Each structure stands twice: as structure tokens, then as C-alpha cells.
Amino acid sequence: MKRIFLTGASAGFGLLSARALCKRGHQVWGTSRDIIRLPRLENFHPIALDLNDPASIASGFDRALWEAGFFDVLVNNAGAGVFGPLESFTDAEFAAQLDTMVCGPQRLIRRALPDMRARREGLIVNVSSLAGEFPMPFMIPYSMAKAAMSAMSEGLVMELSGSGVDIIDLRPGDFKTQFHDSTRRLGTALDEAYQPGIEHAWKTIDVNMNRAQDPTKVSQALVAIVEGRLRGPIIVRGDIFQARIFRFLVRLVPRKWVQWGQCVYYGLKTPR
């Protein structure tokens, strides 16, 4: 039985993972900004926590740690998407994306590490995204944040070498969750300047998400990671093209060819 702190447990990968982990007898302290949205499950402990608020992070994690005594696993899973041209983001909107997916997780890591290092055991799983490797047009802050999370994971692998604390970067591709439906479109006057590309990109993402794979593949991977049946600093999940073929091909061709292919995919004008 593992004691697990899991962010973003009210929907998507987080909710599926919470259900699967609790069913297998693990104790899960799951978070959401709105505690009412969290599931009622045996072995599940709801925690109100806002990753964009340092005080909320401190109080939420400390309360959970007091209840649990210690955590075997920290899972930084929460995420949020905002769709629009980069120039249309306000400072606050841009910062909110980084807070949710970079600053908030690093604050949790800083709170979890002292106890894990003292016990010389622990696991931190950062759920990033293949969007960190292959940025999505009109979702640049999201892609930046996921790339930063992956960089943080790989840096921590080196920093914590020999400490007994393991770091795993779980990178999903496209899966059929509520993520796209919950992605907020900025809908500014700048949209007109980016037509028809911005509409093509939105429709491409919508179609791709609707035909994407079953998200339980990611929750199953997370359960296997928690239980020690799946190991490695970077674990990728997605369809065979996203997770294997495309990632292999991009290592063989110039990056501008990759960008050209992505523009074609999203219905955008190809770069010179």
C-alpha cells in the first residue's frame, strides 16, 4: 500500500488514476481547486488546493502530510489549457499557465523532498506531455510549461542521484479526455488576424481528441509506475505514430522539416 499525493484528481487522467489506485488499496490524497468536484471513493482523501496560490499549496499539502504521516509518491498531474495567439495572452493569463504546470509543481516538490530524502525513499511523477517536445500552435504557454516540467524532471534525476528518491517524467500524447472541452479560447479581436489558421488548428485538435485513444492507458501506466512495475526516467504513452514512429523520425531529419510537417497537420501556411 502506497500513500500518494495526486494533483488534478477531479477529472481526466487524475480522476481515472485516483479510481484505479484506490481500487488497488492505495491511499490517495487527491486535490482540486473545487473540493466538491472530487470523487467519493474508499481510500480517497479530498484536499482543496489551488496550484496558482502558494498559500493554498502550503496549507493543502501540509494538511495532507499531517493526515498521511508521510508520502511514498507525489504525482504532479494537474493541467489546464488556454487556446489563442501568444500575443493575445495577458501577463496574468500567461503567468497562470506557468503557475499551474511549473511553479505550483516545483513548490510541491520542494515541500515533499525533505521527508523523502530523510527516509531515503520516495517517488515523484511529473505528468508532462508530448506537447513539450512538439509545441502546439495557439497553445504556446501550455507547450512551454510542459517542456519546462520535463526539463525539471530530467534535472532532478541528476540532482537526486543516490538519494533514494526517483523521478519519472510521464509524457502522454493525445487521449480522449475532457481536456479539449475544458480548454478556454481567448476569443480576442486578434483571432481575425490569424484566420484561417487559428480555426483550422482548433478543428484539427478537436477532431484529433475525439478520435484519440482510451485515457485509461495513461492511468494504467501511472498505477504500474507507482507499484514499481514500470520504470525509467521518461515514459511515453500515445498511439504508435505519436509515441514511437514520429519521435524516431524527428531525430533523423532537420527540425525545420518537423515544423513544416506540423504546419501541414494543423492546416497552417508552411514556413519558408
Q: Which residues are catalytic?
A: 128, 142, 146
Q: Where are the alpha helices (DSSP H) in 120-254?
A: 140-159, 179-182, 197-210, 216-226, 240, 247-249
Q: In terms of Cα–Cα distance, which of 51, 101, 104 is closest to 79?
A: 101
The reply to whether omega before 46 is within 30° of 0 (cis) is no
Question: DSSP labels for 218-268?
Answer: HHHHHHHHHTTSS--SEEEES-HIIIIIIHHHTTTS-HHHHHHHHHHHHTP
Q: How far apart are CA 124 and CA 116, in angstroms?
A: 10
Q: How far apart are CA 65 and CA 106, in angstroms?
A: 17
